[in-house]
């Protein structure tokens, strides 16, 4: 084995280190063990139609297994709340609207990217995305590439980064070149 051990290093597979799939399972188990999270976020959206990025901030709340709330406080209040298969959107201009995610298949993958990741629900993530995991439990990156061609027309990928059982950022790369980066800091 010693004679061939250096080949493994050249191929990028250091001996004794777990495979990315095994580490992804470890991270998913750690995330699934977290019953609730409250965090502040800052999101910077770079849009082709704007000269300056649009910056928003607010609070993210997650409760296992299927509750996610994004409450934007600045520059103007907005609220998105996903609870099981319902999405509630509230804005000052449009008021409160509810959507059954089962009837809006184009919305569900966006919701599940964050919610299923925080829930450690790999099966749901794999239903909507091809997963590309890199890193260790101490610092990881999960690239979600849409499986459905119809959804891929709008979204190139979502890249979620984290440490241990905590999401630290969510980067959304849209097919038209627009992007957003949301940084997340637990309270």
| pLDDT, tens digit (0-9, with 9 covering 90-100), for 76-97 | 999 999 999 999 999 999 999 9
Per-residue burial over 134-159, b = 16 or more CB atoms within 10 Å of its CB, e = otherwise: ebebeebebbbbbeeeebeeebbbbb
Using only C-alpha atoms, the chain has a radius of gyration, in whole angstroms, of 18
Tokens read off for 173? 């790369």
pLDDT at 50: 87
pLDDT at 179: 96
Strands (E), the chain: 36-46, 54-63, 67-74, 78-83, 86-91, 95-100, 129-136, 139-146, 155-163, 166-174, 179-186
Average pLDDT over residues 36-54: 94
Average pLDDT over residues 98-112: 89
pLDDT band at 11 (very low <50, low <70, confident <90, very high): very low
Higher pLDDT, 39 or 103: 39
pLDDT band at 5 (very low <50, low <70, confident <90, very high): very low
User: Residues 88, 81: contact at Cβ < 8 Å?
Assistant: yes
pLDDT at 113: 95
Q: What pLDDT digit, counting tens, does each position of 120-134 carry?
A: 999 999 999 999 999
The residues spanned by each domain of the chain are: 26-186
Tokens read off for 14? 């250091």
Average pLDDT over residues 131-143: 96
Distance CA 54, CA 70 (A): 16
CATH of domain 26-186: 2.50.20.10
């Amino acid at each position: 084995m010693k004679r061939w051990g250096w080949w493994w290093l050249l191929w990028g597979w250091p001996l004794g280190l777990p495979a990315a799939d095994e580490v992804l399972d470890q991270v998913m188990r750690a995330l699934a063990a977290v019953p609730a999270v409250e965090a502040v976020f800052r999101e910077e959206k770079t849009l082709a139609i704007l000269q300056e990025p649009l910056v928003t901030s607010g609070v993210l709340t997650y409760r296992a297994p299927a509750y996610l709330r994004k409450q934007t406080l600045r520059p103007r209040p907005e609220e998105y709340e996903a609870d099981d298969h319902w999405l509630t959107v509230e804005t000052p201009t449009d008021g409160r609207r509810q959507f059954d995610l089962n009837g809006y298949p184009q919305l569900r993958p966006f919701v599940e990217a964050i919610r299923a990741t925080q829930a450690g629900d790999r099966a749901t993530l794999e239903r909507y995305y091809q997963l590309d995991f890199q890193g260790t439990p101490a610092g990881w990156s999960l690239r979600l590439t849409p499986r459905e061609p119809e959804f891929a027309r709008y979204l190139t990928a979502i890249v979620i980064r984290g440490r241990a059982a905590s999401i630290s950022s969510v980067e959304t790369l849209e097919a038209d070149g627009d992007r957003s980066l949301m940084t997340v800091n637990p309270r």
